[in-house]
Structure 1
Amino acid sequence: MEVGGVSNFCCSGSHSADLGAQYITATSSYAQSHHRFYSEPLSAGVLQPLDSLVEGLKYKDGNKDYMTPLGMGSMVKHFLSESGADLFFERHVTGLYRRGASWEVQWKAGGSEMFDAVVLTMPAPQILQLQGDVGHVLSVHQKQQLEGVEYSSRFAVALFFPPDSINGPGRGPSLVVHTSVPFGLKHLERDKEDVQPIILQELNKLLPGLPQPISIKCQKWRYSQVLTSVPDCPGHMTILHQPPLVCAGDSFVHSNFDGCVKSALSVLSVLKASL
């Protein structure tokens, strides 16, 4: 199994902060249909009930909010560790080539490997950028659907403070700032090093008494949340049945934890039928 992506959980000494999603909201419906995907990480301590107030959040009856003490990435790591799969990280996929009953996957760093089936979970625009035979096996309609997927873009900044600056001795506090969708769109093509001072300037206007941080981490999310997903999609798109080539992820459902689970379950049914 090949796993790629950028970690959204960063650490600085005794500090930590999550630059991705800050909490998970389970609707009453998903809490039932996806019960095991909540109960297992809760039992393992990976997931915890969110016991603090989120200002501006519209609470609905039956909804439950959760947080991850070690970052959202810990949920992924939990399920991967339970799967027993052999994992290989830091392999940037650049091309897919059909080789009879298999797929040859090529890496940016050079080299390739053969697979019986491939599941792509990167954002739709990156699927269309892949070299090789993906563009040849996509139907005109499928290509149009992928081209229609739209993402918001954001910047996130984590500030780490010394232990005695706010809460006294002990673990140092951290603060995470997420920019708005219009801001992300306006500054999308700028380097994060150029955008960070703008964000910090606005932050100091909102919180003028903020202590001086000991370190700062800025993250640019070119593909944040899906604004427009593939319409009427069951959570995946089968590009080729044999050898199986399936696209999945929030491009084909919606951008939250339950959307990811829904997409994964739909892919599982496809792979079981194909293999």
Structure 2
Amino acid sequence: MLQKMAKVLLVGSGLTGSATAALLRQKLPENTSISVWDKARGAGGRMSTSRCPNDSSITVDLGAQYITLTQEYKAKRKSLYDELQTQGILAPLTGQIEGPNSFDQPGAEHFVTPKGSSSLVKFFLQKANASMKNECLVTEVSFSDGGQVSVTTREDLTESFDVVVITMPVPQILQLRGSIHDCINSNSSVKKNLQNVSYSSRYALGLFFPPQTNLKYPWSAKYISDNPCVRYIALDQVKRGTADPNQGQSLAVHTNVPFGLAHLEEDVNSVKDELLANVRKVLPDLPEPMFVKPQKWRYSQVHKAYEGRPGCVTLSTNPLVIVAGDGFSGSTFDGCLDSAETVVKIIQENLHTSTSSGL
């Protein structure tokens, strides 16, 4: 059983990790120690916002593009969406979206992040008041009955915790060394369900343009179905509702999944020219960008989630080791919040405190 002063580690600072940290700070005793470790240089995971090296005021979202609130979640999450809009983190999407897509469900509302998608993660991390460590790739997780959880990184940092929540993509969880590997192998049902989780893969491209560049298109985002490579293009500042002719602009490009899978093992820079050539086929009058940033998303979106979409799975109760993230719920904003809420409920139950859901 957990002590009143618990030392908690969240592995991964994407949406699930950051939202879980915020909820834990809200629900657990004030003196709970909350740490967040992430392998990247900055927080966000697939909610990352990239800056142009030539002009840091120009940014582009290369991961999540907008948030869709479906009818299913409108009542449950109204207060959170209202708060995020009041804080300027979310705003209704007003630009035109062209082309066939699967997001226009009856009653759905779309929101953008005016300050970039990473601002959403930063909002939760600020609420969490957590100890954040970047460039911290976890490689080993070990624990024994009744003890603490020892977590080791590629950089040979080792620290022990009472609770560890791992929000890495499921294939990366399966690659972890230590007793977590034996724990998964000893439960054939859990192992099978973890192995069955699959993701789509794709490349993204950020194109940065200087002020006064003429990017006059009738849409803010466009889905493309007749190109062998390009699936989606967004005028990022127009989409966010922050376009200003006196400031630079950016274009976000996503490939389709077949292209991503076919080139998955190639170096990201070797694919860049082919991506640009296909972008110009779609937009033949596109001006020359001043900088181009390619991005590979090996785990772009969950294709098949853990059976039953439980939100998370508890691998050990004493000490408490939980695996969570969109692999256990689905690759949507609300899916990640579902996962976070399930994690917090389990931790609260182990602390013998009252449970409640919702941020």
Given that residues 236 and 267 in structure 1 are in contact (C-alpha distance below 8 angstroms), is that contact kept between their aligned partners in structure 2? yes
Q: Which amino acid in 1 is paired with 2:335?
A: G
Give CA-to-partner distance per residue, 1:62-98, whole Å, 9 cap, x none: 2111000122221111011112222222211110111
Specify which of 82, 91, 100 is matched with residue 136 of structure 2. Answer: 91
Structure 2 unaligned spans of 5+: 1-34, 216-243, 352-359
Deviation at 1:21, TM superposition (A): 1.1
Large movers: runs of 4+ above 4 Å: none
Specify which of 160, 165, 168 is matched with residue 208 of structure 2. Answer: 160
Between Structure 1 and Structure 2, how many residues are aligned? 275
Structure 1 unaligned spans of 5+: none
Given that residues 237 and 248 in structure 1 are in contact (C-alpha distance below 8 angstroms), is that contact kept between their aligned partners in structure 2? yes
Specify which of 60, 77, 84 is matched with residue 34 of structure 1. Answer: 77
Deviation at 1:10, TM superposition (A): 0.6
Q: Distance in 2 between matches of 1:103 and 1:238?
A: 14
Deviating more after overlay: 5-14 vs 48-57: 5-14
1:174 maps to what in 2?
Answer: 250
TM-score when scaled to structure 1?
Answer: 0.96
Give CA-to-partner distance per residue, 1:155-186, whole Å, 9 cap, x none: 00000111122169511111111000000000
Deviating more after overlay: 163-172 vs 241-250: 163-172
1:9 pairs with 2:85: no
1:239 maps to what in 2?
Answer: 315
Give CA-to-partner distance per residue, 1:23-77, whole Å, 9 cap, x none: 0110122121122331221111111111112113453332111000122221111
Deviation at 1:5, TM superposition (A): 5.0
Q: Which amino acid in 1 is paired with 2:246?
A: G
Q: Which amino acid in 2 is paired with 1:88?
A: K
1:116 maps to what in 2?
Answer: 162
SS for the counterpart of 1:255 is coil
Q: Which amino acid in 1 is paired with 2:292?
A: I
Give CA-to-partner distance per residue, 1:196-245, whole Å, 9 cap, x none: 11100111111111111000111100000000111113211111111011
Q: Distance in 1 between matches of 2:106 and 2:211?
A: 38
1:50 pairs with 2:96: no
Q: Distance in 1 between matches of 2:209 and 2:108?
A: 33
State the superposition RMSD in angstroms.
1.5
SS for the counterpart of 2:274 is helix
Q: Which amino acid in 1 is paired with 2:136?
A: R
TM-score when scaled to structure 2?
Answer: 0.74
Q: Distance in 1 between matches of 2:177 and 2:213?
A: 51
Deviating more after overlay: 56-65 vs 238-247: 56-65
Deviating more after overlay: 188-197 vs 226-235: 226-235
**Structure 1 vs Structure 2: percent identity of aligned residues?**
41
Given that residues 242 and 274 in structure 1 are in contact (C-alpha distance below 8 angstroms), is that contact kept between their aligned partners in structure 2? no
Q: Distance in 2 between matches of 1:249 and 1:60?
A: 24
SS for the counterpart of 2:94 is coil
Specify which of 116, 125, 140 is matched with residue 188 of structure 2. Answer: 140
Deviating more after overlay: 15-24 vs 93-102: 93-102
Q: Which amino acid in 2 is paired with 1:109?
A: E
Give CA-to-partner distance per residue, 1:75-124, whole Å, 9 cap, x none: 11101111222222221111011154210000111120010010010111
Given that residues 48 and 68 in structure 1 are in contact (C-alpha distance below 8 angstroms), is that contact kept between their aligned partners in structure 2? yes
Given that residues 315 and 322 in structure 2 are in contact (C-alpha distance below 8 angstroms), is that contact kept between their aligned partners in structure 1? yes
Q: Distance in 2 between matches of 1:129 and 1:169?
A: 47
Given that residues 166 and 173 in structure 1 are in contact (C-alpha distance below 8 angstroms), is that contact kept between their aligned partners in structure 2? no
Q: Distance in 1 between matches of 2:334 and 2:284?
A: 38
Deviation at 1:20, TM superposition (A): 0.6
The structure, 1 or 2, with the larger RCO (C-alpha pairs under 8 Å, 6+ apart) is: 2
SS for the counterpart of 1:222 is strand
Given that residues 156 and 179 in structure 1 are in contact (C-alpha distance below 8 angstroms), is that contact kept between their aligned partners in structure 2? yes
Q: Which amino acid in 1 is paired with 2:289?
A: P
